[in-house]
Structure 1
Amino acid sequence: MKQYTALYKKELLENVIPFWLKHSKDEADGGFFTSLDQFGNVFDTDKMMWLQGREVWMFSMLYNKVEKRKEWLDMAQHGADFMIKNGRDENGNWYFSLNKQGKPLTQPYNIFSDCFAAMGFGALYTASGNETYAEIARTTFHNILKRRNNPKNKYNKAFPGTRDLKNFALPMILCNLALELEHLLEEKAVNDLIAEALHEVMDVFYQEEKGVILENVFADGSFSDSYEGRLLNPGHSIEAMWFTMDLGLRLNDNALIEKSVKIALQMLEYGWDKQYGGIFYFLDIKGYPTQQLEWDQKLWWVHVEALVCMAKGYLLTGNDDCLQWFEKLHNYTWEHFKDEQYGEWFGYLNRRGEVLLSLKGGKWKGCFHVPRGLYQVWKMLEDGPEAMLVKKNKIVSQL
């Protein structure tokens, strides 16, 4: 796999990151534009807080782990300044979206705005040493814990008591957030969160007899035979498994790493489109039609996260199935998502693998999955399996 190292590094540092540096920064009002067309032109100026936090994290992470380039730190602080000034309500909850000038557009109903704000400010604290950023990250983290049993709070539109469901996305992201913020939190808080999130992911949402991870289950963990309860999101499941592999490294738990690889391979096999290639966005566990009309689209983040997962799984376990899947995913992803002409990557393909939307960023796609995935694969392959196996036998906080 070493032959891929230079390719992923070059794509990250010479194509994807320069695209966002050039086109994303709002010099007038602060923060980042994320709604960028194929050429990098801004086609909408609304600012989604979760994408602002992700971009702050991205440039902070690069500064921390790749090279201390001033332009990267300046970019991260530029986004953070806008978020601090405009991003929260009076209770410290992060809005979902703001207009260009920073006025709230959408109430703080989405806890993932908070998750990525905490992640971004935690990384920026490491880059800058500014205690203000550390305090924002800690406060936001504790707010997340307070809200985790009712993430949407008063904005939850579900009628209580009839079909009380919980969703996979939050425990999944907490598996990653625990490691991202470990340097700012008390050891007990980190360990408790890891144990809780792992239990939810691996014991509640994972259905061992079916070999899949459900997106929604009843509050008591049981199966709901409904649109929501039957829903599968292969990309979420596969991404979660590289988070749990990282936790396996952190906990020195080889069994957890092996189980994560097994589940990821099961979900890949289940979610792969045998006719056209690529991973389906949504599926129904009973084979019924999904609510999501976009169920058969092929999305950028799903494939990028699968690449990370398979590279990590192979390097940690030597499982040849992971290597074969990595090469299959690499060929599909680089052939279909990379824009050879204008830079960065497309986000949305139809089932046949043709570009459906030519945008490079929008309400959901920003400066995150593509560069994070490129970085992860590059650094893992550069380290090589020997270094990964050394890490596997040590207690480490993160890769």
Structure 2
Amino acid sequence: MKHHAATYKQELLDRVLPFWVNHSKDEQHGGFYTCLDRQGNVFDTDKFMWLQGREVWMFSMLYDKVEARPEWKEMALHGAKFMERHGRDQAGNWYFSLTRDGRPLIQPYNIFSDCFAAMAFGALHKIEPDPAYHAIAKDTFENIIRRRQQPKGMYTKNVPGARNLKNFALPMILCNLSLELEHILGEEAVNRFIPEVLEEVMEVFYLKEEGLILENVLEDGSFSDSFEGRLLNPGHSIEAMWFIMDLAVRLDDKALAEKACAIGLRMLEYGWDAQYGGIFYFMDLKGHPPQQLEWDQKLWWVHLETLVFLAKGWQLTGNAACLEWFEKVHAYTWNHFRDAEYPEWFGYLSRQGKPLLQLKGGKWKGCFHVPRALYQVWQTLEKAPAFRQQPVDK
């Protein structure tokens, strides 16, 4: 596996990051363009706050962990200034989208804008320890916790009490966010928080008999036999398992790492398209037609997060299935998503593996999953095994 490390490093530093440095920065109004075509030309100027936060986090993290390149810090500060000036309503909630010059377009219905704003300012504070950045990260995280039971608040479309569901995405992200913000929140606060999110991810949404993770359950944790209740998103579940493995390292819990590895492998096996290759976007637990018409598309982030999971699973557990699957997913991902002619990667493929759109960024794809995965796989494959010398406690 280590022979892949240099490939991922080179792709990150020489092709993907320069694409965003060269094309995403709005020199006139601040912040970042994310709607970029195959060559990097801007095709829409709306600014989506969760993608602004992701890009600030990315360049802050790389400056902190890879190399103190001035252009990376300048990118992070440039985006943060726009977010700080325009990103929140009077209650401190982060809008979903803004115009190019920072006027609100879509209300703060989506709590993930807040999640990535907290990540952004937490990472920025590590490289530029401004008390204002610390306060924004802390206040935003506390607001997320206040809103977590009703994340959409007044913007929800559901009739109260009709079918109250809770979604997997928020506890999944909180697994990662709590570690990202430990320097802001403090070790004791994170220690108190971790068992709660572990319970949600590894018990409440997890179906032991099937070995699968649901996207939605009823408020009491029970199964809902509905479109939403039967929904599986293999990519979400697999991504969550590498978050859990990071928590396992934090907790020095070998058994937790093994369990996360086993669940992720089961989701991968279940979600793999045996006919055309690649991982399905959505599936139905009972094999019924999913309501998402894009259910059989192959998405960039699903495959990249799977590669991170497999690299970490191999490093932490030595499970041979991780090695076998890594080579298989690596070949599919690099052959189908990587654009050999222009930098950055395609995001959306048909079931047969052909690019559906020529864009490199948009409303949902920004400077995040591709560079983060390249960084994570590079770093993971360069490390010596952490748990493999020791048998797992049973």
Q: Secondary structure at 2:77's aligned position in 1?
A: helix
Instruction: Render the CA deviation track for 1:178-202: whole Å, top value 9, x for unaligned.
Output: 0000011133321222111110000
| Pair 1:159–1:129, CA change in 2 (3 A) | same
Q: What is the letter of the counterpart of residue 9 of structure 1? A: K
**What does 1:192-341 align with in structure 2 at a 5 Å threshold?**
192-341=192-341
**What does 1:46-85 align with in structure 2 at a 5 Å threshold?**
46-85=46-85
**What does 1:9-20 align with in structure 2 at a 5 Å threshold?**
9-20=9-20
Q: What is the letter of the counterpart of residue 143 of structure 1? A: N
Query: How far is the alpha carbon of 1:15 from its aligned partner?
Result: 0.3
Instruction: Render the CA deviation track for 1:252-306: whole Å, top value 9, x for unaligned.
Output: 1111100000000000000000000000000000001111000000000000000
**What does 1:366-385 align with in structure 2 at a 5 Å threshold?**
366-385=366-385
**How far, CA to CA, are the matches of 1:248 and 1:187 in structure 2?**
15
State the identity as a percent: 68
> RMSD value over aligned CA atoms?
1.2
Instruction: Render the CA deviation track for 1:142-189: whole Å, top value 9, x for unaligned.
Output: 000000000001111110101000000000000000000001113332
Query: How far is the alpha carbon of 1:65 from its aligned partner?
Result: 0.2
Aligned position for 1:87: 87
Contact 1:174 1:193 survives alignment (8 Å)? no
Q: What is the letter of the counterpart of residue 23 of structure 1? A: H
5+ residue gaps, structure 1: 394-399
**How far, CA to CA, are the matches of 1:192 and 1:216 in structure 2?**
25
**How far, CA to CA, are the matches of 1:54 and 1:309 in structure 2?**
20
**How far, CA to CA, are the matches of 2:294 and 2:193 in structure 1?**
33
Instruction: Render the CA deviation track for 1:79-105: whole Å, top value 9, x for unaligned.
Output: 000000000000100000001010000
Query: How far is the alpha carbon of 1:390 from its aligned partner?
Result: 9.2
Pair 1:3-2:6 in alignment: no
**How far, CA to CA, are the matches of 1:212 and 1:155 in structure 2?**
30
**How far, CA to CA, are the matches of 1:257 and 1:3 in structure 2?**
24
**How far, CA to CA, are the matches of 1:96 and 1:189 in structure 2?**
28
Aligned position for 1:143: 143
Contact 1:316 1:392 survives alignment (8 Å)? no
Contact 1:25 1:31 survives alignment (8 Å)? yes
Query: How far is the alpha carbon of 1:391 from its aligned partner?
Result: 12
Aligned position for 1:189: 189
**How far, CA to CA, are the matches of 1:370 and 1:354 in structure 2?**
18
Query: How far is the alpha carbon of 1:367 from its aligned partner?
Result: 0.2
5+ residue gaps, structure 2: none
Aligned position for 2:110: 110
**How far, CA to CA, are the matches of 1:292 and 1:41 in structure 2?**
30
Q: TM-score, normalised by structure 1?
A: 0.97
Query: How far is the alpha carbon of 1:363 from its aligned partner?
Result: 0.3
Q: What is the letter of the counterpart of residue 71 of structure 2? A: E
Query: How far is the alpha carbon of 1:10 from its aligned partner?
Result: 0.2
